[in-house]
Structure 1
Amino acid sequence: MRINCSPAGCLLLLLTVVLWSPSPLAKSPVFSLLNTGGANVTEAAFIGKFHLVFFGYRHCQHTCPVSLSAMAQALNMLGQIAEKQVVPVFVSVDSQRADAAALKVFAEAFHPAMTALYGSADDIKKANYEFKVLVTKLPSRQSQDYEISHSSSTYLLDPSGAIVEQYAYGTSASVIAKNLAARIKSVSQ
C-alpha cells in the first residue's frame, strides 16, 4: 500500500496514528455544534442511539467521499436495524466554508438519514479536541483556495454517548456493518 501525501499531510497522518488516536473506550466527547436547521446540538443529543461520526469537509475530493460512502453502505447493509438504532453524522471541520444548505445536500447525498453538523472555528476546534481529530489548513497548489488535511477515522458512539470504536480510513462497509450489528445485538439483549 502506498500513501500519497504532502510532507505536512504525512506528518499529520503520523501524529494522528502514533500520538493522537483515541482509545476505543474513550470518555464521552463534549461538544456544542449546529445542525443544518440552525439548532444547537450537544453530546446530550447522542444519548439513546448509536452514532457513526466522521469529521471532514465538503470540498474534500477523496478521503471524505470514500469514508462517507463506506458509512452509508454499512447502514444500507443493516437496513431497518440501522434506521431505528443508528444515526450517521458528518461534522464539517471547515468553519469558513460551512454553508448549512450545502452541507445538508452534501451529507444527504451519501445517506438520506445523515446529519451534518458545523459551527464556529472555536466550536469546531473544541469538537476536534474531544474526538482527537487533527486538522491542518493547507494552501492549494492550483488556486487561491485551500485544502484541509484531517484525521480520517470514523467513530462509533454507543447509546450512552461513549466512543466505543474507531474505524480507520479504508475500513470496508462490510466490516463496519458486521461490527455495528454485533454491538446493536449486545445492547438489545
Structure 2
Amino acid sequence: MKTRLLLIALIVVLSSALIFLIAFWEPLPPATIAAAPPHARPATAAKPAGGDFTLHGAQGPVSLADYRGKVVLLYFGYTYCPDVCPTSLALIAQALSGLAATEQQQVQAFFISVDPRRDSAERLQEYAPFFHPTLIGLSGTPQEIARVAAQYGASYQAQPPNAQEQYSVDHSSATYLIDTQGKLALTLPHASTSAQLLAAIREHLAAPVAAR
C-alpha cells in the first residue's frame, strides 16, 4: 500500500510539471533576452544568516517582516525553468494542501525569481498560483535578488544563449523554512518529499517561542 501511494504521489508531481510546461512555456523574442549576472555562493561561505528583505509582488512591495507569526517557505527559481522548479513547487504545493485550513492561515510560501529580466511581478502572479493559490511570486532588480539569495545561501548562474537566443539559469534548489520569529530555521534539500516538507512546517508551527 505504501509503495502504491508513493507511486500515485510521483504521478501527480510529474503530471503537474507536464501541465505547467504546456501552460507556461513560450519562446522569447531575441530582443528581450539578456543573460543575468552570475551570482554564486563562495565554497567557503559561512552558514547563511537569513534575515528580512523586501521584494516586489504584483500588488507592490512585499516584506518578510510583514509575515511575523507565520512559518514562511522560500524557493528560488525562475518561470522558464523546464523541470526542477515545476517539480519542486508541485511538492511544496502538496505540502501546503496537506495542512488543515487553520494551519494554512499560519503559513506563507514565496517563489523568488532568479531571472528578474524575464520574470516580471505580473508574470509571476500568473505563474505561482498555478501550483497553489496562496503561493506568491516575487521579483526585483538583479541587485535586490542577489542580495536576498546571498542572505539565504542560494546560488544561480545564467548560461549563454543558444542558437535561438534562449538561455537557462542554473540554480540551487533548496527550500528555506523561516520560523514564526523571522529566523532561518531549516534548509531543506531538493530531494525533500512533500511529507518531509509538511512535517517540517508542522514542527515549527507547534514549537514554543521559548525553544527558539
Q: TM-score if structure 2 supplies the norm length? A: 0.74
Equivalent position to 1:70, from 84, 88, 91: 91
Judged with a 3 Å threshold, the aligned counterparts in structure 2 of structure 1 residues 144 and 31 are, in CA distance, closer, same or farther, namely same
2:133 is the counterpart of 1:107: no
**2:207 partner amino acid:** S
State the SS of the aligned residue for 1:107: helix
State the SS of the aligned residue for 1:96: coil
C-alpha deviation, 1:86, in angstroms: 0.5
Distance 1:95 1:28 in 2: 20
State the SS of the aligned residue for 1:136: strand
Aligned to 1:117: 138
**2:104 partner amino acid:** E
Equivalent position to 1:79, from 74, 87, 100: 100
State the SS of the aligned residue for 1:161: coil
Q: Which has the higher contact order (CA 8 A, sep 6+)?
A: 1
Structure 1 residue runs without a partner (length 5+)? 1-11
Deviates more, 1:77-86 or 1:110-119: 77-86
Question: Counting strand residues as a fraction of each chain, which structure ranks higher?
Answer: 1
Q: How does 1:1-189 map to 2 (within 5 A)?
A: 19-20=44-45, 23=47, 27-37=49-59, 39-141=60-162, 143-187=164-208
Judged with a 3 Å threshold, the aligned counterparts in structure 2 of structure 1 residues 68 and 187 are, in CA distance, closer, same or farther, namely farther
Judged with a 3 Å threshold, the aligned counterparts in structure 2 of structure 1 residues 186 and 163 are, in CA distance, closer, same or farther, namely same
- Deviations along 1:84-138, one digit per CA (max 9) or x if unpaired, are 1100110011110122222111100000001111101111111111111111010
Structure 2 residue runs without a partner (length 5+)? 1-37
Judged with a 3 Å threshold, the aligned counterparts in structure 2 of structure 1 residues 137 and 32 are, in CA distance, closer, same or farther, namely same
Instruction: Please give the root-mean-square deviation of Cα atoms over the aligned residues, in Å.
Output: 2.3
**2:168 partner amino acid:** E
Judged with a 3 Å threshold, the aligned counterparts in structure 2 of structure 1 residues 119 and 172 are, in CA distance, closer, same or farther, namely same
Report sequence identity in percent.
27
State the SS of the aligned residue for 2:105: helix
C-alpha deviation, 1:80, in angstroms: 1.4
Judged with a 3 Å threshold, the aligned counterparts in structure 2 of structure 1 residues 17 and 82 are, in CA distance, closer, same or farther, namely farther
Is the CA contact (8 Å cut-off) linking 1:16 and 1:151 kept in structure 2? no
Judged with a 3 Å threshold, the aligned counterparts in structure 2 of structure 1 residues 185 and 119 are, in CA distance, closer, same or farther, namely same
Is the CA contact (8 Å cut-off) linking 2:125 and 2:137 kept in structure 1? yes
Distance 1:50 1:81 in 2: 13
- What stretches of structure 1 move > 4 A for 4+ residues in a row? 15-20
**1:62 partner amino acid:** D
Between structure 1 and structure 2, the one with the greater Rg is 2
